[in-house]
Chain A
Amino acid sequence: KAGVTQTPRYLIKTRGQQVTLSCSPISGHRSVSWYQQTPGQGLQFLFEYFSETQRNKGNFPGRFSGRQFSNSRSEMNVSTLELGDSALYLCASSLASSGTSSYEQYFGPGTRLTVT
């Protein structure tokens, strides 16, 4: 079974621009979560989508948004990019059925975003 895929793998943007990152979960997984990883702040939870609805949200400004499609693929958008948005953005999927499998997350390779 294919793992979580993220595109693009690397991205360079300029301050003020916006960016869209994409994540395809493992087949059959219905939950997709996004995390930001930086050397200073570590791994921080952005938001989680399940069945096209945002189910959980972290403490990030409204410039960070996401959505999920009917095939469970998810996109994350960052508007008005700032230098501090430079990070590795990781997507994780989980089965999200009842029971413990809903808590088990599988991560993609990440998108390295550099804002100049």
Chain B
Amino acid sequence: AQSVTQPDIHITVSEGASLELRCNYSYGATPYLFWYVQSPGQGLQLLLKYFSGDTLVQGIKGFEAEFKRSQSSFNLRKPSVHWSDAAEYFCAFNTNAGKSTFGDGTTLTVKP
């Protein structure tokens, strides 16, 4: 079955520390991959996307993600976390335009 797995429900990091959020997908081919961020009571904001080509993609707010075909992974990273990064992060894939499949999300807490 097609699915997205985010193994970490909750992650806490100190401000200024590096961050990596994990995402694994299950699909017969390489889907289009996305990371979104959601602040409380808000909609989802697109952070970055991967369609093809360079496996390291840059996004907004200093985030980047690396696609690894051999591991079916698309992990999100940030070198130095800011308190404003505290939010919920969703990994998603899209193989059928207009229909995305989302992971369960990872809640990020940033310690001062």
Contact = CB atoms under 8 A, between A and B. Distances in A.
Interface residues on B, range: 20 to 34
A110 B42 contact: yes
Interface residues of A, number: 28
A90 B104 CA distance: 16
B73 to A, nearest CB: 19
Interface of B: 32, 34, 36, 41-46, 49, 51, 90, 94, 96-105
Contacts of A105: 34, 46, 94, 98, 100
Interface in A79-109: 90, 92, 94, 96, 100, 102-109
A57 to B, nearest CB: 9
A67 interface: no
B43 A100 contact: no
A50 B49 CA distance: 22
A102 B97 contact: yes
A31 B44 contact: no
Interface in A27-57: 31, 33, 35, 42-43, 45, 48, 50, 55-56
A56 B99 contact: yes
